[in-house]
Chains A and B, each alone.
Chain A
Amino acid sequence: MKDLIYPALMVLPLLAGVTLFVIRGEAFRAIFQRAAAIIVLAASIAGAFVMYNFAPWIGPLPEWVDWLMLAFEFGLLAYAAYRAAVYRKYWVIGLIAIQAFLTGWAELYAKPIAGFVFSFHSDELSLIMILVIGVTGFAIAAYAVSYMRNFHARHPDIQDRRPFFSFLLFTFLGAMFGLVTSNSLFILNFFWELTSICSFFLIGYPRTDAAVKSAFRALGMNLAGGIVMTAAIIWIATTYRIGGLNVLISVENAALPGMKLAIGCLVLAALIKSAQFPFSSWLLGAMVAPTPVSALLHSSTMVKAGVYLILRVMPSLQGSIMAEAVALLGIFTFAMASAMAIAMRNAKRLLAYSTIANLGLIVACAGIGTSATIAAAILLIIFHSIAKSSLFLCVGSVEHIIDSRDIEAMDSLVSRVPAIAYPMVIGIGGMFLPPLGMLVSKYIVLGAFVDAHNLISPFLILLLAFGSAFNLFFWAKWLGKIISPMPGYKKAPLRVPVFEIGSIDILACIVIATTFGFPLIVRWLVSPYVSSSQLTTLINNDYWMLAFMISMLIVLPLGLMLRSNVSTWITPYLSGRNSPENGDKYVDTYGVARRADMKNYYFGAFIKEAQWQRWSTIAATLLVSLIFLGAIL
């Protein structure tokens, strides 16, 4: 009975997706999609509960299931190939053909050699991933209902294919659930391809020129990674007769001759998926997709699949040149992407760079591979997924209200659109404000980097220090923009439905809840997986202080705001030219009252995105070669 939890987790979202694809009638679909979102959430919680208590193993699947999965994947690949033919992207068709061939070969030839393999298994890491995917997936799927309605109302030129969109959304969630619980490399590969293809359709959904270009780029890069991965899996299965992740990641097996190179190929696929430099262009391009897609791909699912795999395989290589190269690549990505985020005025692009940066930090942690860094990486995954998805949703709604995703157009959002601005403040705070989640993780990371004790440690520390400072800078200036007053503002009409704000609010509440409750998360979920003495010490010694700081962060402003003794109100200093009608504005030389329109620094003259991208691509390519050099040596 309890074994049914794995198929249920994958099939339920898929069924929901198919149903949404089939049924007609917008009102009914809206209700059903919200219900389906709740079902996904419930399934993930139930799944996590069962796994926590029983952690079942599942043996080989019946043959017809294998065939069904293969047929499903080939069907989607064929459709992707058809789309590629429509747009004359013949190189993509080539990649799809190679992928299909390799998948078939793996299934028919390699799999029998590997012998008996457990199909599914779950441990605390899978469980955490399932909860993260479930919670964010629920909020995003529920949010998407009204967002997509708005989206099509605003873009009448884009063909309305919402049934297909919903189908993809839920299939994607199902695939992610499968990915993080599969133990068999072949099944892992199947879900890996599934996420690549689904993301291709999701990114290309608007079918504008930019969307098509980005979608094919994402598909091309991820397929290339997938091909390398499938080849590596065939090799592992046929050479070493290993077909299960549980067997693969033991230290003895990693030491087998040639095995490092095979694992290197898996890592390469994972680096592409988690959009590390030099493979980050697909993620930046994917920002053209509707906001729920960005939120889904870039917070908790697609990119997290990459870091999930890296977290699984890297500890077995701890201390090798290869692992150190991975750590360097990750921290390099963290620092560079953080620096580039400073120059971003487009909120979604800033979020994209920040995503790349945080994934870099997770990859760096995985590269070091000690229990402390793995624990820190897991915390980073949790906090980042939730805060980032809430921020994406906020930006999406704000865009529908103020018609802009430019950060400089967000002056005084707390007065203009308080219902969304406050969750946004919480989300931004969750990303960088000291006692909140991300900082707890960074605290552990810093200590763990120092403890790693090898010659790359000082570089890791240096880049971490600078990258964190960059993070502080770009988040704080955004936060400042949201709270800075805008004289003569009008409260914007709240043109988004309550449900949409509800999704955002739920995520914002979870940001706060995880911040307060992280010791429980650590005790129940992280410690059984990896025990980090640093984390335990932090919780034992300083938790109450952290909790007190966070409480004061909430209580102090609220308390002071409610204070009733109003002082004398004066006008801001505007060189004595304040307008008599509105003291917050100044009178210009023509006698017109204007507001002093202030913009933030973006260091555009120094941080040239294209140029920096070129250089960091070169540097990162060198680091990737170093990974493979380390694998061969």
Chain B
Amino acid sequence: MSGTLTLALLLIAGPILGGLLEGLSRIISARLQGRIGPPILQPFYDAGKLFMKSDSQVSRLQVVYITSFLFFTIFACLIFFSGGDILLFFFCLTLANIFMVLAGYSSASPFSHIGAERELIQLLAYEPMFILAFVGMYILTGSFLIKDILAFPEPIAWKLPGCLLGMLPVICIKLQKSPFDLAASHHPHQELVKGITSDFSGRTLGLIEVAHWYKYSYLTAFIALFFGRLWWAGLIGVGLFYLAVVFIDNAFGRFTYRQTLKIVWSITLALGFGNIFLLYLIKILIPIMRTRHWW
């Protein structure tokens, strides 16, 4: 019973935390640029306004896809917070993303069409890194279950630094931060022509905002998972991560899709794959060295 209650609490608190993080990142961004910036609750005001607008749509199916997008994003969070299978969590997330892409395709506007495709390219860019990170966790803990990974006695980040750092560009992509914001730029903060979301307005756009907060919540949880029980390290880790994301966001102009693929995949290979390869090397070589005494 208390488990269900915690879960419900997490599902409600998650997006609120996400909205706050979004607001905070906008303030930090503004300070970096010598502005004062909006109040921290600005994302909620924005979304509130969107929900009060009249409902207008380009196609009948838009709202279907967007609702499914939000639904499966929340369901993914549910799997994550209930300590479920991390691969299922990811599959659910992929499914949600596909719905977002389909929503982009469902408009006759070239802006949203190209946005949809770029969203797909982003998926293509970050998916391998996610998988490698999961595999790294599995190698260490012997389980894909989030509750088992969390129960691991030491923070897995110590042995998976490559996988953890490799998640940085992934998070930039997922949060649509520059330089990886090809599908829907968040600069400047206006919503008229914005790639994949060009043709969404009012409540539908509001749903996308809510889903965006959920993104923050599961990404935060995922980074924290690397630190396991060491909650203060997790807090610092997550904080540093978001600071890095904001800095990168402000320091770079947008990449083309080729640059995005090249850079993210290079990082995936160097950090993610390198990390996993080393783990295997250690796991296989050390027993051999112990048994054979070849030195």
Q: Contact residues of B with A, CB < 8 Å?
A: 54-61, 63-65, 67-68, 71-72, 75, 79, 84-85, 87-88, 91-92, 94-95, 98, 101-102, 104-114, 116-117, 120-121, 123-124, 127-128, 131-132, 134-135, 138-139, 144, 192-193, 198-199, 201, 257-258, 269, 273, 276-277, 280-281, 283-284
Residue of B nearest to A488 (CB): B108
CB distance from A519 to the nearest CB of B (A): 15
CB distance from B152 to the nearest CB of A (A): 16
Residues A455 and B284 in contact, CB atoms below 8 Å apart:
yes
Residues A465 and B127 in contact, CB atoms below 8 Å apart:
yes
Q: Which 9 A-B pairs have the closest CB atoms?
A: A480-B105, A434-B91, A572-B109, A567-B55, A465-B131, A568-B56, A469-B127, A465-B128, A560-B64
CA gap between A595 and B107 in the complex, in Å:
12
Number of interface residues of A (CB under 8 A): 61
CA gap between A486 and B94 in the complex, in Å:
26
CA gap between A472 and B193 in the complex, in Å:
27
Q: Contact residues of A with B, CB < 8 Å?
A: 433-435, 439, 443, 446-447, 450, 453-455, 457-458, 461-462, 464-466, 468-470, 472-473, 476-477, 479-481, 483-487, 538, 541-542, 545-546, 549, 552-553, 556-557, 560-561, 567-574, 584-585, 595-596, 598, 600-601, 606
- Residues of chain B contacted by A545 (CB below 8 angstroms): 79, 84, 88
CA gap between A446 and B281 in the complex, in Å:
19
Residues A571 and B56 in contact, CB atoms below 8 Å apart:
no
- Residues of chain B contacted by A487 (CB below 8 angstroms): 108
CB distance from A625 to the nearest CB of B (A): 24
Residues B94 and A584 in contact, CB atoms below 8 Å apart:
no
**Given contact pairs A462-B276, A476-B123, A484-B108, a sample of 10 additional A-B residue pairs in the complex whose CB atoms are under 8 Å apart:** A457-B280, A461-B276, A462-B132, A465-B128, A473-B121, A476-B120, A556-B64, A572-B109, A574-B110, A601-B257
CB distance from B69 to the nearest CB of A (A): 10
A549 and B75 contact, Cβ closer than 8 Å, known pairs A453-B283, A557-B64: yes
Residues A561 and B88 in contact, CB atoms below 8 Å apart:
no
CB distance from B86 to the nearest CB of A (A): 11
Residues B113 and A598 in contact, CB atoms below 8 Å apart:
yes
Residues B87 and A446 in contact, CB atoms below 8 Å apart:
yes
CB distance from B68 to the nearest CB of A (A): 5
Residues B138 and A541 in contact, CB atoms below 8 Å apart:
no
CB distance from A164 to the nearest CB of B (A): 44
Q: Which of A468, A477, A569 contacts B127 (CB 8 A)?
A: A468
CA gap between A606 and B257 in the complex, in Å:
13
Residues B94 and A434 in contact, CB atoms below 8 Å apart:
yes
The total of interchain contacts (Cβ-Cβ below 8 angstroms) comes to 182
Of the A-B pairs whose beta carbons lie under 8 Å apart in the complex, a sample of 11, sorted by A's number, is: A435-B95, A446-B131, A465-B135, A473-B124, A484-B108, A545-B88, A552-B71, A561-B60, A572-B112, A595-B108, A601-B257
A571 and B85 contact, Cβ closer than 8 Å, known pairs A469-B123, A484-B106: no
- Residues of chain A contacted by B201 (CB below 8 angstroms): 570
Residues B120 and A458 in contact, CB atoms below 8 Å apart:
no
Residues A556 and B283 in contact, CB atoms below 8 Å apart:
no
A601 and B117 contact, Cβ closer than 8 Å, known pairs A453-B284, A469-B127: yes
Residues B92 and A484 in contact, CB atoms below 8 Å apart:
no
CA gap between A457 and B116 in the complex, in Å:
34
CB distance from A241 to the nearest CB of B (A): 39
Residues B109 and A573 in contact, CB atoms below 8 Å apart:
yes
CA gap between A447 and B142 in the complex, in Å:
10
- Residues of chain B contacted by A573 (CB below 8 angstroms): 107, 109, 111-112, 192-193, 198-199
Residues B59 and A542 in contact, CB atoms below 8 Å apart:
no
CA gap between A598 and B112 in the complex, in Å:
10
Residues B113 and A484 in contact, CB atoms below 8 Å apart:
yes
Residues A556 and B280 in contact, CB atoms below 8 Å apart:
no
- Residues of chain A contacted by B84 (CB below 8 angstroms): 542, 545
CA gap between A136 and B33 in the complex, in Å:
63
- Residues of chain A contacted by B127 (CB below 8 angstroms): 465, 468-469, 472
CA gap between A154 and B64 in the complex, in Å:
40
Q: Which of B101, B106, B135, B281 contacts A485 (CB 8 A)?
A: B106
CB distance from B176 to the nearest CB of A (A): 18
Residues B112 and A462 in contact, CB atoms below 8 Å apart:
no
CB distance from B159 to the nearest CB of A (A): 15
Residues A435 and B120 in contact, CB atoms below 8 Å apart:
no
Residues A557 and B280 in contact, CB atoms below 8 Å apart:
no
CA gap between A454 and B134 in the complex, in Å:
18
Residues B57 and A569 in contact, CB atoms below 8 Å apart:
yes
- Residues of chain A contacted by B58 (CB below 8 angstroms): 569-572
Q: Which of B75, B105, B108 contacts A584 (CB 8 A)?
A: B108
Q: Which of B104, B111, B138, B273 contacts A462 (CB 8 A)?
A: B273
- Residues of chain B contacted by A542 (CB below 8 angstroms): 84-85, 88
CA gap between A598 and B108 in the complex, in Å:
9
- Residues of chain A contacted by B281 (CB below 8 angstroms): 455
Residues A549 and B95 in contact, CB atoms below 8 Å apart:
yes
CB distance from A99 to the nearest CB of B (A): 44
Residues A598 and B110 in contact, CB atoms below 8 Å apart:
yes
Residues B131 and A473 in contact, CB atoms below 8 Å apart:
no
A570 and B56 contact, Cβ closer than 8 Å, known pairs A443-B87, A462-B128, A479-B102: yes
Residue of A nearest to B257 (CB): A601
CA gap between A481 and B71 in the complex, in Å:
23
A596 and B87 contact, Cβ closer than 8 Å, known pairs A457-B280, A465-B128: no
- Residues of chain B contacted by A462 (CB below 8 angstroms): 128, 132, 269, 273, 276
- Residues of chain A contacted by B131 (CB below 8 angstroms): 446, 461, 464-465, 468
Residue of B nearest to A477 (CB): B120
Residue of A nearest to B134 (CB): A446
CA gap between A469 and B261 in the complex, in Å:
12
A434 and B95 contact, Cβ closer than 8 Å, known pairs A473-B120, A483-B102: yes
- Residues of chain B contacted by A485 (CB below 8 angstroms): 59, 106-108
CA gap between A164 and B221 in the complex, in Å:
63
CA gap between A572 and B88 in the complex, in Å:
35
CA gap between A483 and B60 in the complex, in Å:
12
CB distance from B238 to the nearest CB of A (A): 25
Residues B106 and A483 in contact, CB atoms below 8 Å apart:
yes
Residues B117 and A600 in contact, CB atoms below 8 Å apart:
yes
- Residues of chain B contacted by A479 (CB below 8 angstroms): 98, 102
- Residues of chain B contacted by A541 (CB below 8 angstroms): 85
Residues B98 and A568 in contact, CB atoms below 8 Å apart:
no
CA gap between A483 and B93 in the complex, in Å:
21
CB distance from A344 to the nearest CB of B (A): 16
Residues A473 and B123 in contact, CB atoms below 8 Å apart:
yes
- Residues of chain B contacted by A446 (CB below 8 angstroms): 87, 131, 134-135
A560 and B91 contact, Cβ closer than 8 Å, known pairs A447-B138, A469-B128, A479-B102: no
- Residues of chain B contacted by A600 (CB below 8 angstroms): 117
CA gap between A202 and B107 in the complex, in Å:
42
CA gap between A153 and B87 in the complex, in Å:
50
- Residues of chain A contacted by B65 (CB below 8 angstroms): 557
CB distance from A160 to the nearest CB of B (A): 41
Q: Which of B57, B111, B192, B276 contacts A570 (CB 8 A)?
A: B57
